[in-house]
């Protein structure tokens, strides 16, 4: 299909705020949202900070009381994903549109509505229910088996499903169309958006809800990342000479995509458009990042080619920029290779609320669209002296006015997976 795929709603939640607009304001103000680890006694831990969401209120997300009771038992990452997705659906006006249809039309509407989610997939906390029984058994597997019933929640399996957000969104809104749960580490959220985009282009649905969510603030994840040398103890400094690593954060974001004709048929307001995407893997070690930037450059070139956009037309690059020196330099090399001296504004948002892993690409995409509408992009407030390997990037510590309505959003994950997404904001009410 050649029909444009438009964006009719977004929403996000992270340590910096509970809406895209609020997060954008906090970024423009240069505020960071990191607080001391509080989920467990971390007084002796070498990594003291994380980007946690202070409150998640699931009480008003859905009308069904039984559903609300059920989701309160879900994991924190699922609650974050459901929050962002439910708010995005509400912002889109889909519930009111669906309610106004007769029964036959409503059935068809729901069958042509898809759901795509991206999540971390792996959480050590899945296993924490088993630890008391293991400790008490002292190596005796019979004793361990005897104690399981008293220590392991009988709904353990249902709570630990990686596709819970996908399932509950379908149940809550009656969406019965194409659906996929993507677990691809740091690119999961971005890939959910892209897979929704491709499904609509292929005619598999008329509209789709795409969401990315993750909650990596748990003891084993933080300890393992620290031992790998990826975590900093003070601040995330993307592309800075003093960069020393990342800080994990939790969050989620969601986006409603529709074919232009489907959006027009229900009188939906068009917020933006997805123009193209590109993926690559560097086929190296799990943590290996090629210094040449070839992998990310390939993803960028694929995205620009699919979008039919020249590098000079891009007004904003939202980089992965997680503050680890090897990744930042590699990403800078990729951007430099594609854009040369005709460099658009480059920024990253992780300095404010942390690397939200699978949610990062979705949050960045929602914020990129907000920046295009506001015609203002937050700077990297922690930037002091650019790393010599990143010096050619068009970086700023302060907000910058944008000229243009195209953004390129970059994501990375262990493996080394690279994702590039091109989005467009309408001009004068037209996409």
Domains and CATH numbers, the chain: 5-121+162-424 (3.40.47.10)
Instruction: Pick left, alpha or beta for residue 283 (phi over 0 → left; psi -120 to 50 → alpha; otherwise beta).
Output: left
* pLDDT at 428 (0 to 100): 59
Query: Which residue's structure tokens are 């910096």?
Result: 16
Q: pLDDT by residue (tens digit) across 342-393?
A: 899 999 999 999 999 999 999 999 999 999 999 999 999 999 999 999 989 9
Q: What are the pLDDT digits (tens) for 28-61? A: 999 999 999 988 888 888 888 999 998 777 767 7
Whether the predicted pLDDT of 430 surpasses 50: no
- Tell me the pTM: 0.95
pLDDT for res 81: 95
Cβ neighbours of residue 159 under 8 Å, at least 6 residues apart? 73, 74, 75, 153
Residue 97 confidence class, pLDDT cut points 50, 70, 90: very high
Cα–Cα dist 318/326, whole Å: 18
Using the predicted structure, report yes or no on whether residue 121 has a pLDDT greater than 80: no
pLDDT at res. 153: 76
Q: Judge whether residue 211 has pLDDT over 80.
A: yes
Mean pLDDT to the nearest integer, 283-311? 90
List the one residue out of 356, 405, 353 whose CA is nearest residue 380: 353
Residue 240, pLDDT above cutoff 50: yes
3-state secondary structure string, the chain? CCCCEEEEEEEEEECCECCHHHHHHHHHCCCCCCEECCCCCCCCCCCCEEECCCCCCCCCCCCCHHHHHHHCCCCHHHHHHHHHHHHHHHHHCHHHHHHCCCHHHHHHHHHCEEEEEEECCCCHHHHHHHHHHHHHHCCCHHHHHHHHHHHCCCCHHHHCCCCHHHHHHHHHHCCCCCEEEECCHHHHHHHHHHHHHHHHHCCCCCEEEEEEEECCCCHHHHHHHHHCCCECCCCCCCCECCCCCECEECEEEEEEEEEHHHHHHCCCCCCEEEEEEEEEECCCCCCCCCCCCHHHHHHHHHHHHHHCCCHHHCCEEECCCCCCHHHHHHHHHHHHHHHCCCCCEEECCHHHHCECHHHHHHHHHHHHHHHHHHCEECCCCCCCCECHHHCCCECCCCCEECCCCEEEEEEEECCCEEEEEEEECCECCEC
Q: Please, what is the angle between helix 188-201 and helix 360-374, to 10°?
A: 70
Contact 328, 321 (CB under 8 A): yes
Q: What angle do CA 27, 29, 34 make, to 5 degrees?
A: 60
245-296 pLDDT tens trace: 999 999 999 999 999 999 999 999 999 999 999 999 988 777 777 788 999 9
When pLDDT is cut at 50, 70 and 90, the band that residue 431 belongs to is very low
Residue range 52-95, pLDDT digits in tens: 998 777 767 777 777 777 777 788 899 999 999 999 999 999 99
Predicted confidence (pLDDT) per residue in 124-171, tens digit: 777 888 888 888 888 898 888 888 878 777 777 777 888 999 999 999
- Looking at per-residue pLDDT, the higher value among 415 and 318 belongs to 318
């Amino acid at each position: 299909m050649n029909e444009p795929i438009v964006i009719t709603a977004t929403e996000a939640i992270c340590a910096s705020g509970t809406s895209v607009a609020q997060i954008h304001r906090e970024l423009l103000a240069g505020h960071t949202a990191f607080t001391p680890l509080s989920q467990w006694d971390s007084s002796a831990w070498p990594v003291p900070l994380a980007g946690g969401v202070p409150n998640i209120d699931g009480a008003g997300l859905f009308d069904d009381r039984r559903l609300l009771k059920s989701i309160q038992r879900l994991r924190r990452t699922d609650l974050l994903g459901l929050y962002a997705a439910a708010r995005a659906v509400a912002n889109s006006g889909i519930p009111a549109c669906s309610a106004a249809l007769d029964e036959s039309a409503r059935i068809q509407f729901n069958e042509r509505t898809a759901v795509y989610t991206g999540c971390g997939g792996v959480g050590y906390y899945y296993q924490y229910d088993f630890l008391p029984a293991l400790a008490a058994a002292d190596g005796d597997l019979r004793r361990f088996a005897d104690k399981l019933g008293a220590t392991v929640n009988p709904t353990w399996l249902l709570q630990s499903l990686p596709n819970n957000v996908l399932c509950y969104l379908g149940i809550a809104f009656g969406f019965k169309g194409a659906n996929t749960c993507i677990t691809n580490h740091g690119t999961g959220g971005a890939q959910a958006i892209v897979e929704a985009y491709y499904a609509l282009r292929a005619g598999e649905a008329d509209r789709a809800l795409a969401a990315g969510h993750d909650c990596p603030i748990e003891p084993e994840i933080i300890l393992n990342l620290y031992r790998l040398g990826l975590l900093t103890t003070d601040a995330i400094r993307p592309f800075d000479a003093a960069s020393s690593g990342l800080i994990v954060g939790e969050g989620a974001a969601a986006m409603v995509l529709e074919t232009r004709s489907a959006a027009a048929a229900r009188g939906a307001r068009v917020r933006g458009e997805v123009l193209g995407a590109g993926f690559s893997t560097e086929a190296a070690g799990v943590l290996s990042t090629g210094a040449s930037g070839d992998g990310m450059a390939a993803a960028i070139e694929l995205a620009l080619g699919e979008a039919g956009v020249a590098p000079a037309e891009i007004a904003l690059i939202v980089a992965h920029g997680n503050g680890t020196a090897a990744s930042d330099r590699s990403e800078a090399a990729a951007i430099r290779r594609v854009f040369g001296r005709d460099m658009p504004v480059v920024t990253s948002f992780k300095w404010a609320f942390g690397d939200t892993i699978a949610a990062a690409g979705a949050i960045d995409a929602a914020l990129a669209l907000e920046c295009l509408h506001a015609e203002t992009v937050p700077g990297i407030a922690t930037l002091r002296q650019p790393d010599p390997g990143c010096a050619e990037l068009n970086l700023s510590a302060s907000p910058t006015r944008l000229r243009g309505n195209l953004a390129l959003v970059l994501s990375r994950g262990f493996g080394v997976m690279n994702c590039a997404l091109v989005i467009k904001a309408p001009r004068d009410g037209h996409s």
